[in-house]
A and B are shown apart, each in its own frame.
Chain A
Amino acid sequence: MDISLRVNGSERSGSVEGRTLLVEFLRTELGLTGTHVGCDTSQCGACVVHVDGVAVKACTMLAAEAAGSDVTTIEGMANPDGSLGTIQQAFQDHHGLQCGFCTPGMVMSAAALLKENPQPSEAEIREYLEGNLCRCTGYHNIVKAIQAASGQLTAVAAE
């Protein structure tokens, strides 16, 4: 079937099978390979995107379900001039990433968290990240980065 949706501010359309997952559509049809696939049980969170402003694991949603929606992926998170957004910059400043594979999902989850709760406690950050696995950082610097980003949230244009 043919679907149309808005991705990172642009109108996009494509042809999908009924079983095509949103993450497959983003990666293979639209070439937005920043959204990653790290598992097949909706546990790892490497594929988190925002659909109509809500964080969603793109492996849990069919592409067809996203038709007509407004989707933001990691490719849409930098500032309009191409520089890193506040959360992205905080991840670099605090070494919140190593191999980078979980990072897009982490940034998308962090953005959703801070939108919902602009000043989360350490415990709230850790609990929110339960659905995002990282095997490199031990989470220490990811939590630090989100804490840092939360201190300047007014400057964040997360969506």
Chain B
Amino acid sequence: MPKDSGIGASSKRREDLRFLTGAGKYTDDINVAGQTYAYFLRSNVAHGKINGIDTAAAAAAPGVIRVFTGADFEGVGTIPCGWQVTDRFGEPMQEPAHPILAQGKVRHVGDPIAVVVAESLSQARDAAEMIDADIEELPAVINMADALSDGATKVHDDLTSNLCYDWGFVEENREAVDQAIQNAYHVTKLELTNNRLVANPMEPRVAIGEYDPWKDEHTLYTTSQNPHVIRLLMGAFVLGIPEHKLRVIAPDVGGGFGTKIFHYAEEAFCTFAAKAIKRPVKWTSDRSEAFISDAHGRDHVTTIELAMDEEGKFLAIRTDTMANMGAYLSTFAPSVPTWLHGTLMAGNYTTPLIYVNVKAVFTNTVPVDAYRGAGRPEATFQLERVIDVAAREMGIDPVELRRRNFIKPDQFPYATPVAVEYDTGNYHATMDKALEVADASGFAARRSTSEANGKLRGFGICSYIEACGIAPSNLVGQLGARAGLYESATVRVNATGSISVMTGSHSHGQGHETTFAQVVAEMLGIDEGQVDIVHGDTARTPMGMGTYGSRSIAVGGSAMVRATEKIIAKAKKIASHLMEASESDVEFANGQFTVAGTDKSVAWGDVCLAAYVPHNYPLESIEPGLEETAFYDPANFTYPSGVYVCEVEVDPDTGKVSVESFAAADDFGNVINPMIVEGQVHGGLAQGIGQALLENCAYDENGQLLSGSYMDYAMPRADDLPFYAVDHSCQTPCTHNPLGVKGCGEAGAIGSPPAVVNAVIDALQSGGSAVRHIDMPLSPAKVWSAMHG
């Protein structure tokens, strides 16, 4: 019987009530008294020298309060990068300044030049058209190979080149890997692109800055996945505002997918300008603006080589990647192609020797940073594509080749040659389950039916692993993170026994208000409705690092468990006093404290009341009150894994691909709310299938964004996608966090692109084509061209 509450129950989401009735409070729904409106004038060229900006006419336009340019921010801090990568020669990466508004030069289409602040948005927009920006267009570098060529135009004049870093991992393995590849029975080599994407949460970014001069206090409302991180970065590095004078509120947030992790110039602008004009300042991005100002994702160009023996045993992997950073370093950008990518190159396999080289490149494009999966989809795509190609070259079934090389269940914990130690997993089990859910044995018959209808049918598989629950602070500190990656929770028991949990995690679609309450309610044996989850406001929650990298339940949930354990420990002391029993004899279950071997008992509510009305209370040894905080720093990453199976039909006349079915067998360890977990997988799959078939962020050679709206950027729509068959019954619980959880937010987006591409290649080859690879997205035009040589 499925549970109807607590851990493991598909509790309905409490947040849905406000979202379904239009009562959600997203940042743009907030209006503060006296607010003004900011409109950003942005560069329409990819690279240019600013000769002058004449703002006089705009400043005199109706309703305009002030016009800001880069000159207003001289002496103010610049947008910081939160991760410093050290290159393979031991040198730090090249790190250019990223001003709030462009100073001297513009470096990508969308780089902000000036901002008009006016009484209304239309007045601000109208006035911005009167700004005369004299910008001398310069040659731009868009393509990464061009950017690295000798004599290339530099994105930043003060850097030595467009190379941010040349990273090698594990550098000591380099020669051994080269040798193994040279001596191997067979080497499969594949060149591929991981296409540039735009995250596109449905809610565009918004920021509202407020300043109270009498208290010298700033408030920023912002669409963020991590309000404390914004407070830290903006307060300490950009504007010089101490934390106690800066409150950051991220209310209901309409999706993030990574792109709302980062600290953006618009947040700093609104905070700065509110003080400068002594009025609140609101900025709301429109979608066109989002395309040229939200950090993009992916954009890797890779060559991977896989060396095997006669039996198909993997001997070595060598990969070379160029990773696009765009024009500036966004908050976590340097970590994505390095530590979040290189450490996953072992996949689910026992490959003993691995070397990963990454060259990060500046170009005159929008900055690129983490997008759902962040580095792990790029690693998985290379590995699972090259294995599929290798299987065909070796004449081994792709499922069998993977099985031969899987880490076996008895090999855990398993230390990979790329520095991470997988605690648990059972890849054979997820493979079996995926094939069962996908009805793999019925594929041949389905292919015959498709062929009878004039269609080609393909079967594609992908086995993925990812590292979630980031991360041990001391480890990431060594790797270049400029922050700790713990999480926090305060559990406040109220006098009548209800609970408020203040968490540093942030929910922007994940349903934490429901799931987190399920955990605490289960631990205390009380009703879920008695537990409220508070998040998204630095004034109401302890310092936390926020939500990304599928870390909320693994790290934030663990902090909450630890705080609740402290509550239970103190409550037991109080209960032992009330029952006049030895503390060691007190047991707590189902909301009741009992004394072993007696009929003495005291209820949860009575203990809570005693803590706040301490008339009969051991005041000499215990403080009144019942409130505890815990900070949890994980001992390791968590390692969700799974096997995905995609079946496609290809229309040979048009090249159009349709996804006929998609099966996912994931191992997320223990699951708190199966309904929510399945929903997370569905969403990830849609984004991954979107990447594989539809989505592409394209620039022309001059750096103009060709896919700058929903008219040109192909977002997956309901009729592009099938129902998914998802299963999470293979569970090997995480061994190092108290809930045994691994995280589920990114898996779908990581495992699906290679499954789709493998299926399409399988379909085409079944029709007699020799095509080996097609770069994503697999549009009808590309597929048709590949079929016709």
A19: chain B residues within 8 A (beta carbon): 122
Q: Could you tell me how many residues of chain B have their Cβ less than 8 Å away from some Cβ of chain A? A: 57
Q: From known contacts A138-B683, A143-B723, infer whether A38 and B204 are also in contact, taking CB-CB under 8 Å.
A: yes
Contact: A138 with B686, CB < 8 Å? yes
Interface: A150 (CB within 8 A): no
Contact: A139 with B686, CB < 8 Å? yes
Contact: B22 with A41, CB < 8 Å? no
Contact: A37 with B686, CB < 8 Å? no
Q: From known contacts A34-B22, A125-B718, A133-B717, infer whether A98 and B686 are also in contact, taking CB-CB under 8 Å.
A: no
Q: From known contacts A17-B122, A40-B287, infer whether A98 and B715 are also in contact, taking CB-CB under 8 Å.
A: no
CA–CA, A101 and B28, complex, Å: 11
List residues 689-734 of chain B with CB under 8 A from any CB of chain A: 709-711, 715-719, 721, 723-724
Q: From known contacts A33-B22, A135-B255, A138-B682, infer whether A97 and B16 are also in contact, taking CB-CB under 8 Å.
A: yes
By beta carbon, the residue of chain A nearest B253 is: A99
Contact: A36 with B203, CB < 8 Å? yes
A34: chain B residues within 8 A (beta carbon): 21-24
Q: Could you tell me how many residues of chain A have their Cβ less than 8 Å away from some Cβ of chain B? A: 56
B13 to chain A: closest CB distance in Å? 7
Contact: B22 with A99, CB < 8 Å? no
Interface: B252 (CB within 8 A): yes
List residues 85-108 of chain A with CB under 8 A from any CB of chain B: 88, 91-93, 95, 97-104, 107
A97 to chain B: closest CB distance in Å? 6
Instruction: Indicate with 1 or 0, residue by residue over A128-148, a CB within 8 angstroms of chain B CB atoms.
Output: 011011111111111100000
Partner of B254, one of A75, A77, A99: A99
Contact: B683 with A92, CB < 8 Å? no
CA–CA, A90 and B716, complex, Å: 23
CA–CA, A126 and B718, complex, Å: 5
B206 to chain A: closest CB distance in Å? 10
CA–CA, A75 and B20, complex, Å: 9
Partner of A32, one of B12, B22, B715, B748: B22
B118 to chain A: closest CB distance in Å? 14
By beta carbon, the residue of chain A nearest B719 is: A126
Partner of A129, one of B253, B717, B723: B717
The winner among A78, A98, A125 for most chain B CB atoms within 10 A is: A98
B508: chain A residues within 8 A (beta carbon): 99
Interface: A157 (CB within 8 A): no
Interface: A58 (CB within 8 A): no
Interface: A155 (CB within 8 A): no
Instruction: Indicate with 1 or 0, residue by residue over A35-46, a CB within 8 angstroms of chain B CB atoms.
Output: 111111101101
Interface: B445 (CB within 8 A): no
CA–CA, A102 and B686, complex, Å: 15
* SS of A interface (majority): loop
Interface: B286 (CB within 8 A): yes
By beta carbon, the residue of chain B nearest A93 is: B12
Q: From known contacts A39-B710, A84-B21, A95-B676, infer whether A101 and B724 are also in contact, taking CB-CB under 8 Å.
A: no
Contact: B687 with A88, CB < 8 Å? no
CA–CA, A84 and B16, complex, Å: 10
B25 to chain A: closest CB distance in Å? 8
CA–CA, A99 and B23, complex, Å: 13
CA–CA, A135 and B710, complex, Å: 13
By beta carbon, the residue of chain A nearest B715 is: A133
CA–CA, A143 and B204, complex, Å: 24
By beta carbon, the residue of chain B nearest A94 is: B675
Q: From known contacts A40-B709, A41-B287, infer whether A133 and B24 are also in contact, taking CB-CB under 8 Å.
A: no
Would you list 27 pairs from A and B whose C-beta atoms are within 8 A, ordered by A residue?
A19-B122, A28-B31, A33-B22, A43-B710, A77-B22, A78-B21, A84-B21, A92-B20, A95-B675, A97-B20, A100-B19, A100-B254, A101-B24, A102-B202, A103-B20, A127-B718, A134-B718, A135-B257, A135-B686, A136-B683, A137-B683, A138-B685, A139-B686, A140-B721, A140-B724, A141-B679, A143-B723
Extra A-B contacts (18), CB below 8 Å, given A92-B16, A98-B511, A129-B718:
A19-B122, A34-B23, A39-B709, A41-B709, A41-B711, A43-B709, A78-B21, A84-B20, A93-B12, A98-B510, A99-B203, A100-B18, A130-B718, A134-B202, A135-B686, A138-B716, A139-B721, A143-B718
